[in-house]
Homo-oligomer: A and B are copies of this chain.
Amino acid sequence: MTVRAEVASVGTELLLGQITDTNATYICQRLAECGIPVYFRQTVGDNFERVQQALRLAWSRAELVVFTGGLGPTEDDLTKEAVAAALGADLVEDAESLAHLEQFFARRGRTMTPNQRRQALLPRGAVAIPNRWGTAPGVFWEVEGRVVVLVPGVPREMRGMVDEFVVPELRRRGWVGQDVIRSRVVRTVGIGEGQLEELVRDLLHTTNPTVAPLAHLGEVHLRITARGTPAEVDRMLDEAEARLRERLGDAVYGTGEETLDAVVARLLREAKVTVAVAESCTGGLVGERLTSVPGSSAYFLGGVVAYSNGAKEDLLHVPEELLERFGAVSAEVAEAMARGARERFGADLGLAVTGVAGPGGGTEQKPVGRVFLALADRDGVHSVRADFGEEPGREGVRRLASQAALNLLRRYLMGRRPGG
């Protein structure tokens, strides 16, 4: 049988726009991976009548209905009561759930209130989904060949129950489709969205797999989505990734969840080289990103954030005459900063960033968004200029500058000289 699913989120705070519904996103992702199509989602407040309406509507057009939210101990939490009433069942106390609650409160030395105890109630005939992360159990309830699932709105509890109970149970019932939908993200850096689309334009118009560009600040991702049997999907994803890599070369830095920070860290570890940084406009962001990965002390020796010219001279030994002649935002000073960082910390490589983050401080010669990056090694130093403009804003320019610095280092470590 082909099962259709519907997801319903319960919570007045969603309808007031006080929180964004990431739970529905997560549940939809898992269902797509199971090959179970979702055609509708609903959102309702903590209201007995409207939760019932949502159940009845979903029941008319889906075989699997997943509710999230409204299972907790407060008086607002009434999803279970409303769903049970809509399907004509009464609630009975579940002994195991009650024992779990009693243990939970005993361990914390707290007394269980009647409202807390209410969480152990289940629609007659339903199965409790254990809550290893909090108090309210979930509900897995088969009614006349259909299933309604209730999971809490607390993201960690919801995710745990979906992954550890709901998906396995759907699989056991044979409800997981032969065809699944899976995505893979291919990550690029150093190439604009327009240029990238030119290079892969024909690949953006296929229907299975589909390829969709997703622009982020300083990087563009391409999301490949394929539908078919797990084996077909894997093959389609691999082939599409290979085609993208062929077109885009080493603008591709990774796939999936791998960040640029993690890729650069891996390359540094593999190359067994050390690095030190000198920053001005990024204020410490390049150092922060190079140390965001565990074990960074193996390759990161340190950095200097030199905001003032005095600091550039004293701590990085940038010659005063360079600062006077070319200004702090110049290729010459960036190169001197990179050499200075390398020497001061005794590192194999020195990486430097200097620029105008804005919004003030720009001139005709040195507009807001201009950044110089430099990389020094034993043999010399190389610098590049980037113009990000005013549009990204201060935080945007700083982020883009750190991105360009990490990419300069990445390309160097991949066996290219800077700029090569």
Q: Is the CB of A307 within 8 A of B315?
A: no
Q: In angstroms, how far is the closest chain B Cβ from the Cβ of A57?
A: 8
A107–B220 Cα distance when bound, in Å, is: 25
Complex interface residues of chain A between 6 and 64 (CB less than 8 A to chain B): 13-22, 24-32, 37-45, 47, 50, 54, 57
A41–B8 Cα distance when bound, in Å, is: 10
Q: Is the CB of A344 within 8 A of B315?
A: yes
Q: Is the CB of B50 within 8 A of A39?
A: yes
Chain B's closest residue to A22 (CB) is B20
Q: In angstroms, how far is the closest chain B Cβ from the Cβ of A415?
A: 26
In the assembled complex, A372 has its CB within 8 A of some CB on chain B: no
Contacts of A307 in B (CB 8 A): 291, 296-297, 300-302
Q: In angstroms, how far is the closest chain B Cβ from the Cβ of A279?
A: 7
Q: Is the CB of B40 within 8 A of A16?
A: no
Known A43-B40, A308-B302; contact A283-B292, beta-carbon cutoff 8 A: yes
Q: Is the CB of A294 within 8 A of B41?
A: no
Q: Mark A349-361, 1 if CB is under 8 A from B, else 0.
A: 0000000001111
Q: Is the CB of A39 within 8 A of B18?
A: no
Q: In angstroms, how far is the closest chain B Cβ from the Cβ of A189?
A: 20
Q: In angstroms, how far is the closest chain B Cβ from the Cβ of A171?
A: 18
A29–B344 Cα distance when bound, in Å, is: 52
Contacts of A344 in B (CB 8 A): 311, 314-315
In the assembled complex, A213 has its CB within 8 A of some CB on chain B: no
In the assembled complex, A407 has its CB within 8 A of some CB on chain B: no
Contacts of A183 in B (CB 8 A): 16, 18
Q: Is the CB of A43 within 8 A of B44?
A: no
A335–B129 Cα distance when bound, in Å, is: 51
Q: In angstroms, how far is the closest chain B Cβ from the Cβ of A262?
A: 12
A22–B282 Cα distance when bound, in Å, is: 29
Q: Is the CB of A296 within 8 A of B311?
A: no
Contacts of A301 in B (CB 8 A): 307-308, 310-311
In the assembled complex, A345 has its CB within 8 A of some CB on chain B: yes
In the assembled complex, A306 has its CB within 8 A of some CB on chain B: yes
Contacts of A279 in B (CB 8 A): 284, 287
Which of B25, B304, B361 is the one whose CB lies under 8 Å from A20?
B25
Q: In angstroms, how far is the closest chain B Cβ from the Cβ of A55?
A: 13
Known A290-B283, A294-B359; contact A39-B45, beta-carbon cutoff 8 A: yes
Which of B39, B44, B181, B294 is the one whose CB lies under 8 Å from A394?
B294
Contacts of A45 in B (CB 8 A): 39
Q: Is the CB of A304 within 8 A of B315?
A: yes
In the assembled complex, A114 has its CB within 8 A of some CB on chain B: no
Q: Give the residue among A39, A282, A296, A310 with the most B Cβ atoms within 10 A.
A: A39
Chain B's closest residue to A31 (CB) is B17
In the assembled complex, A409 has its CB within 8 A of some CB on chain B: no
In the assembled complex, A126 has its CB within 8 A of some CB on chain B: no
In the assembled complex, A288 has its CB within 8 A of some CB on chain B: yes
A21–B20 Cα distance when bound, in Å, is: 7
Complex A-B: 15 CB contacts under 8 Å: A13-B212, A17-B29, A17-B31, A21-B21, A21-B24, A39-B44, A40-B50, A41-B42, A283-B287, A284-B284, A284-B287, A288-B398, A301-B308, A308-B345, A314-B344
Q: For the A-B complex with A20-B20, A302-B304 known, give 5 more contacts whose Cβ atoms are closer than 8 Å.
A: A39-B50, A284-B291, A287-B305, A288-B288, A310-B345
